[in-house]
Structure 1
Amino acid sequence: DRDAAALIRSIRTAPLLFGWRGSDPVDTRALEELLLRLSRLVDDHPEVVGVSLEPVVVATEGLSVLSATVRVAHPPARSDLGPRTLPSY
């Protein structure tokens, strides 16, 4: 869960999520939960080779995914056998 929190805070526009210039902060915990669930989906189902969520609307309480596309194919061969982490940008 720390990886998801760090990923959200690492993007250049992160200040907009946390109440920039007097605006209300959004529910970043819901966004973190979405990232964690997507990660779990891909780990549990290797045949999922792509997920596109556009747009994701994050409100002060909760979020909505307005469109989702999931690509399914034969699972690619994994060369790593250990746990995976989210990349840091």
Structure 2
Amino acid sequence: MIYNRIKTLRTDRGLSRKALADAIGVNFQTIGYLERGDYNPSLELAFKLADYFDVTVETAFSRTPFQSLAEELRASRAAE
């Protein structure tokens, strides 16, 4: 399974699924499938999404579950 932050990235920018799909040239249902984890993106689509959001592929996709924002903040504070 490939985990992703597409929904977080999309909603953070106030985009609908359709607006994101139109911007990268896919069907809006593809975005929904990605966000739910029902579909793993092709390498080309993963790069398109990362480029669109101006993040690395590793920031948007992972083979392991992402930490929650609260966990990331705790880890960041502990490292200071």
The two structures have a TM-score, normalised by structure 2, of 0.26
Higher strand share: 1
Q: Which has the higher contact order (CA 8 A, sep 6+)?
A: 2
The two structures have a TM-score, normalised by structure 1, of 0.24
**Which has the higher Rg, Structure 1 or Structure 2?**
1
